Every structure is written in C-alpha cells, then in structure tokens.
Amino acid sequence: MKLKTLALLAGGATILASCATGPGGSHGDALRLMQRDFKPVGIATMDRLKQDKVQAACNKYDDNPPKALADELQKEQYATVKWPADGKLLGDWKSGEKIAQRGRGMAWNDKPGKTSRGEPNGGSCYNCHQIGPATTSFGTIGPSLYQFGKLRGYGPDIQRYAYAKIYNAKAYSVCSGMPRFGHSGTLTEQQMKDLTALLMDPASPVNQ
Amino acid sequence: MADPMKIRATVQGDVADVRVLMAHPMETGQRKQAGKAVPLHFIQSITAQLNGKTVFSADISQAISRNPVFAFKVKGAKAGDKIVITWKDNKGETRTDETTVRAGS
Amino acid sequence: MRQALVLGFVAAFAAGPWPQAAAQTEDPVAAEFDKFRAVLEQDNPAELWEVKGEQLWKTPGGPNKVSLEKCDLGLGSGVVKGAYAQMPRYFADVGRVMDAEARIVHCMITLQGFKYEDLAKAPFSSATRTPDPVSITTYVAAQSAGMKLAPSQGHPKEKEAYTLGKEIFFYRAGPWDFSCANCHGLDGKRIRTQPLPNFAKPETALASVQGWPGYRMTGGVMHSLQWRLSDCFRQQRFPKPDYASETLSLLMTYLTVNASGQTYKGPGIKR
Amino acid sequence: MQQTRRSVIKAGGALGLLAVLGSALLKPGRALAAWNKGAFEAKSAIDAMRALGITNTEESKDIVIRAPDIAENGAVVPIDVTSNIPGTTSISVFIEKNPFPYTGTFDFAAGAVPFVHLRAKLGESTPVRVVVAAGGKYYTTAKEVKVTIGGCGG
C-alpha cells in the first residue's frame, strides 16, 4: 500500500524521457507512465492503451503518413468491413436518428454493447456532424451530412460508401478523426444499416 | 448544519446592490442516485431585511438551480447598514447570515 | 437583425489583425454563451467552496491534527498567494512535477497523516459531497486570481514534463482512436454546441486552465482539473487515470505552459 | 387541454378572458403568507396563476426579461427581471414547459427596487413568463429560452 503511494507521488524520478521530437515523436516513456498510472475500469481494459497499426502510424506521422503507407493501411482497413449477409444496407432511418443522437457507450461504466442505462451504444454522430435539419445543436468536427443522399445520389455505390465509412472510417482516410464503429465493435450491423438509412433513405429528414 | 451563505452588498448612490449565494442541493425529486429517487429537498422561502425591516422576500420552487444565486436592489441604503438574509427549506431547515453594506467603488 | 449585425461585424474583422477574436465571435451561439457566462461568473457558487477550502487549509485536521499552513506549494512553506499560477512545478522532495491538487494531496498525506488510498477512493464531487482536496484547491486557485500563468520551466524535470505531457496529449489509442488532440487540437470547432478550443496553440490554450477549478452547471458541483482531465479520458474511452497521478500532472504541465503569460481569472463556471 | 391552455398563454392579452374562470373577487398581491402549495404543485402556468389569484393580466412592455436566447445549460439559466411599472409590489416567474411551471414570487417592500436576478432549471425550450403585480393590477410578458444539448452527451 505504502509502496503504491510512493510510486504514485514520487514515481517520476525513475523514468527518464528520451529525446522526443514532435507530437509524433517517441512516446515510449509517456506510454510507460500511462501504463503505470491508468487502471482498468469495467470494459475499459488496459489493452485500450496499446496502439494498433493505424493509430501508431497516425501518431508517428502527425496524422499525415506518407502516401504509400496511407494507401496500404487504407486497403487493409477496407478489407475489415463485414458486409451484411442479406446484402441490404438500408435499415430504419428513425432508429438511425436515435443512434446518431446518443453519445453514450464504450466508457468506464458502460456494458459490452450497451450503455450504463441499458440502451444500445450510441454513434455520437451529432457530436461532430450536422445531420437532420431538426437538430441545431450539432458539432462541427466532421463535415455536414445534411442532404447526404440528395446531394450524392441514392445509388448502390454511395450506399456502400456510407456503410463502409461508418464501419471503418479509416478505410477512406487513414487518420480520420472518426471512430471505426463496426471495426471497434461499438455498433451492430443493424445499427449501422439504420445509420446508413438515416443518410441514404430518400424519406429520411436528412434528404428533405 | 447548512453551510453559510455568501452575501455581498455594495451601495452606489443610494441604491444597494445585494447579491447572495446559498449552499443548497435544491433536489427536484426527479434525480436518481443508485436507482433510487432522491427526495424533494429545496429552499421554499427567503427573506431579506435592511436594518431590521423586510425589504425583499420570496417563495420559490425546486426549479431554482442548485446552490441558488439571487440579486436584488434596495433604495435608501447606505454604507454600514445591516443586511440579514434567512432561508427556510421544505424540511424545516433554516439558515440566517448577515453582512454590512459597503460603499461601492 | 442582431445576428446580421454580428455577422457583419465578423466579416469586417475577418481579415483584420485579430483572427483569434474573429474566431471567437464568429459563432452567434458561442457569442450568446459568452455573454451569459459573464453574467454567471459575476456571482459564482465556486466562492462557497473557496470559503470552505480556506477553512480546511487553516484548521488543524487529519490524523495528525495539524493545518496545511506549513504546506509548500512551491513558493515556500505556507505561501498560497500566487502559487497556483506557477504550477505545475518540480518538487525536489518527491522528485517529480506536481500540479496544485496533487501537491495538496501530498501535503494532506505527509503533514496531516491522511492515506492516499482514502483520498483517492472518491476524489470527485457529487451532488451531496465535495471532497476536501477539491475545496482546498479552489481556495488555493482563488489566491492566484488576476495573476499571469507562469508555470516554472527552469528545472530539467519541468522541461521533460512538458515533452511527456505533449506526447500524452497527442497519444491516439482506444476503441475510438482518440487522442486529446482529436478534439482539442483543432481550430474553431465545436462538439454539439460547446466550443472546442485548440489547446496545442498558445492563443487558445488558456481555455484549458481558465475557469478551473470550476463550478459545473451540470450537476451543480465543484470540480477541479483533476476531474476534468480524468473525465476527458473517460470520454476518450481510455482506462481510468489514477487520481493525482504523475500522468495528469504532466498533461497539466503541457496545457499550462502553452497558456503561459496569460492572465488566470481564478475559479470559474463551466457548462 | 394543456396545449390549449398554453396557446392561450402565448396569445398573451387573451389571458384576460380567463378572468371569468377565477374568482374576480380575489385581490392582486399574495393573499396568504404561507408557501402556496397549490400554485407550486400546479402542472400548468394557468392553473398556478389561478391558485395565486392571478386572473386578469395585461401585456406590458414595461417588464424587461433578460435571459439567454439559447441557454448553455438548462440546469442554470440566468434570468433578470426588471419592472418599470410604477407601484410594483411583486414579480412572479413561470417556466411554462417545466413539470411545475410556477417558479417563485419575489416581493418588494420598503424601498426595494423591482428587480430580481435568479437562476433556474429549464427542462426544455420554453417561454419564461413573468407576471408583475402593481397598483392593484397584473401585467405580463414572456421570453422564449432555447435549451439544447451542449457537450459530448456521454
């Protein structure tokens, strides 16, 4: 117990920084400190601190990796997209709207696939995007998705693009700020179909 | 016992600006903690006296924000006057604090 | 009508010498928030905790029944005025950089005899309880109101802390691939209606320190930077950082040094 | 039913028509010193006003409500009310779409200026209605305050 206290309060003296460069520089020492100072809570396990190939590359190159590497990684990421077995990409836009509004899930007190309140995980979409016209409290980190289908057309290619982008945003832009909702297991296939419908169903308020 | 209020009273000309912070949870009865509803607990009435005379009083509901803040103004006040404020909540708990009116800058 | 005026104003200044000011008024929603934030700050419930924190600082307490008046916040034993604006800083007695709350916790352990485990059990405020270190940090912070932020960068460990803090800030991981920078390394963005200042840039980094400790309107509770950063990691979908841990001090070093030279207004009010 | 009442309130001056519903004998000014349970537990502003004996109101531009057009956080919405009506004795506040709209009455005596600053919880976007008692009559105005989702929502 006492040892732990000492480690927490005086631990830094033992870890020396190597010469880090930019933000993308060596983060070996910072990572070691984080691994010491973070503790798992429920579904938020310690392996979440480990970077996968995409995260490591984006970190290393300040979100701007060389084109050849970016292309290679994007191809790999695209290959992770699991397409619905029934071949249908459009679900129910009404349910999609709810998923887009909800910002909970995947954090300390949440359950696998569910929020701490027992609702299905949300997609947090409105946190970053303008989507339906009724919601004015939308974020601006991502581009506006208002009239997504109306502007791009409702064809199968755009449907596939929308579904795959939600499933794995890194398939199109490897250091995108958008989470990989299918790849990370945040959203279910049905939820991603519902979100695709929100963007692509001609009847969705998004396309009015 | 409830925590003390913080009262500030400054006079400009002959109008005193009185501002008060109260420490109170102002529970609406709607909030849940560990699955159980937290019972209604809120300040119901407030009175403010200037040199012993009631100048401002209020009856309020649970819709007033937690840790309430109020401001009001009294004409005819001068530096050195005494302001006494009392609140009473729905559980019968009460708290009285006072301050002296200061000259404004 | 008023909106049109605001937009006209912004257009007139967009090419002017103050791009930062223009960015702040560009969004009419943000302008409305700013206007009423000033109203709310005029009477800030945070003051209730300043009073409480001062009492806790000066009154003998803990198993050792001593006050914190001998606590060294970096400017010498017992000096509170101005200490917050110069933290985080390096403390030779622990061999690491500490932020204000981590140092207060350290003093509560070493001087007053509290146990870290007890202080770390429920370190953040709830509707019904504000932990003592939060009140004390609020008091200490208030004693730096109106002063320029000047976190010390003279010691090699302080420079190292900045570098490590920067790495933590930019570290992308977790199921959603987020780093702090994903939301707070961009210019002029917002999440829902809440502006997201760019903490990596000196012009906008002040927002990471300003207003903390803060009275948070959501829940009506007093929170410090320890809570803010910890909860950011929750939203980042990371595991949980230990309370008053070195990692948090390092991150605070990065943020505060970026805001160096700007005036700290004292405890604030937050959404 | 509630919707109808609300539109009546929105119609403002039309509120006077409701005078016939209440007792015309009740005098303006708070009849009782006790906390008015009936008014505070009323689920509509109209019912609350009736419980308070406010039955005949006149729209007035001499009441100034200063509150945000869009509130940053519905939990703490700052509201300033100033009455420029001579002889003002009280200011009452009704947050129309809250579950219990009646939020409070502020009485002024012995030199108090008819002004109050308060902070209230707004459950959703709503008109904030103010009723001023002055010179034996009631005056009213309202301001719409929008409440939106602010942060990460998580």
CA separation for the pair C116, C109 (Å, rounded): 7
pTM for the model stands at: 0.87
> Looking at the domain assignment, is residue C6 inside a domain?
no
Tens-digit pLDDT profile for residues C211-260: 999 999 999 999 999 999 999 999 999 999 999 999 999 999 999 999 99
Closest partner CB to D154 (pick from A107, A136, A137): A107
pLDDT of A17 reads 39
Return the residue of C nearest to D153 by Cα. Answer: C192
Task: Tell which of A98, A119, A135, A137 to mutate to test the D interface (max D CBs under 10 Å).
Answer: A137
Task: Give the mean model confidence (pLDDT) for residues C175-192.
Answer: 95
Both tokens of C120, joined, read 């770390």
Portion 72-111 of A in contact with C at CB < 8 A:
106-108
Residue D152 lies in a domain: no
| Domain assignment of residue B52, given as a range | 6-103
pLDDT of residue A16: 42
Residues 103-122 in D contacting C (C-alpha not used; CB under 8 Å): 117, 119
Judged against a pLDDT cut of 80, whether residue B102 lies above it is answered with yes
Contact B75 D107 (CB under 8 A): no
Which residues make beta-bridge pairs with A44?
A: A41
Q: Say if D73 is an interface residue toward chain C (CB within 8 Å).
A: yes
**pLDDT tens column, D122-154:** 999 999 999 999 999 999 999 999 998 766 655
Min Cα distance C92 → chain A (Å) is: 10
Contact A127 D153 (CB under 8 A): yes
pLDDT band at A15 (very low <50, low <70, confident <90, very high): very low
> Do D152 and A136 count as a contact with CB atoms less than 8 A apart?
no
Q: Does one domain contain both D3 and D64?
A: no
Q: Is there a domain that residue D154 lies in?
A: no
Q: Is B16 helix (H, G, I), strand (E, B) or coil?
A: strand
Signed CA dihedral, D151, D80, B55, D46: sign only: negative
Mean pLDDT of chain C: 90
Q: What percent of chain C has pLDDT over 70?
A: 90
Distances in Å between the Cα of C68 and the Cα atoms of C110, C112, C139, C161 are 10, 7, 12, 26
State the pLDDT at residue D102.
98
State phi, psi for A130 to the nearest 5 degrees: -75, 135
- Give the pLDDT score at A26: 54
Give D56→chain B minimum CA distance, Å: 21
Q: pLDDT at residue C9 above 70?
A: no
Task: Please check whether residue B1 lies inside any domain of the structure.
Answer: no
Structural domain for D76, as ranges: 36-147
Bridge partners, D78 (sequence order): D119
Mean pLDDT in residue range B44-58? 97
Q: Look up the CATH number of the domain holding residue B11.
A: 2.60.40.10
Q: What is the mean pLDDT of chain A?
A: 90
pLDDT at D7: 40
pLDDT tens for residues D12-42? 444 444 443 333 333 344 444 689 999 999 9
Buried b (16+ CB within 10 A) or exposed e, C19-57: eeebbbbbbbbbbbbeebbebbbebbbbbbbbbbbbebb
Listed in sequence order, the residues at least 6 apart from A24 whose beta carbon sits closer than 8 Å to its beta carbon are A59, A60, A61, A62, C170
Number of domains in chain B: 1
* Of B35, B7, B10, the residue nearest B23 (C-alpha): B7
Domain A93-207 has CATH 1.10.760.10: yes
- Distance between CA A193 and CA A95 in Å, rounded? 10
Please spell the DSSP secondary structure of D87-141, one letter per residue: TEEEEEEEETTSSS-EEEEEEE-TTEEEEEEEEE--SSSEEEEEEEEETTEEEEE
**Residues A63-74: pLDDT tens digits?**
999 999 999 999
Total structural domains in chain C?
Answer: 1
Q: Where are the alpha helices (DSSP H) in chain A?
A: 2-10, 28-37, 53-60, 67-78, 93-101, 125-128, 148-152, 156-167, 189-200
- pLDDT tens for C85-112 read 999 999 999 999 999 999 999 999 999 9
The answer to whether the Cβ–Cβ distance between A103 and D148 falls below 8 Å is no
Inform me whether the pLDDT recorded for C2 exceeds 60: no
Inter-residue contact D117 to D80 (CB < 8 Å): yes
Q: What is this model's ipTM?
A: 0.85
Instruction: Please judge whether B65 and C220 are an interchain contact, meaning their C-beta atoms are less than 8 angstroms apart.
Output: yes
Query: What does the pLDDT average to over A194-198?
Result: 98
Q: Are residues D54 and D84 in the same domain?
A: yes
Q: For residue D117, tell me if it sits in a domain.
A: yes
Render C52-95 in DSSP notation, one character per residue: HHHHHHHS-BTTTTB-STT-B-SSSBT--TTTGGG-SEEETTTT
Interface contact A122-D149, CB threshold 8 A: no
Q: Could you tell me the residue range of the domain that residue C80 belongs to?
A: 44-270
Q: Which amino acids of C are annotated catalytic?
A: 232
In CATH, what number is assigned to the domain containing residue C168? 1.10.760.10
In a domain, D92, yes or no: yes
Compare CB distances from A177 to C166, C182, C242 and report the shortest one's residue.
C182
Pick the range with the lowest mean pLDDT from C20-24, C92-96, C135-139, C182-186.
C20-24
Nearest to D106 among B53, B58, B68 (CB): B58
Domain ranges of chain A: 3-51, 93-207
Q: Flag if A137 and D154 touch (Cβ within 8 Å).
A: no
Banded model confidence at residue D96, pLDDT cuts 50, 70, 90: very high
Looking at the domain assignment, is residue D153 inside a domain?
no
Chain C residues closer than 8 Å to A41 by CB = 239-240
Measured between beta carbons, the chain D residues lying within 8 angstroms of B31 are none
Average pLDDT in chain D: 83
A76-94 pLDDT, tens per residue? 999 999 999 999 999 999 9
Does C52 sit within 8 Å of B21, measured CB to CB? no
Enumerate neighbours of A (3 or more CB pairs within 8 A): C, D
Q: Answer whether residue C169 is part of any domain.
A: yes
Q: Same domain, yes or no, for D12 and D43?
A: no
d(CA D135, CA D128): 23
B27: chain C residues, CB-CB within 8 Å: 127
Residue C3 has pLDDT above 70, yes or no: no
pLDDT at res. D58 = 97
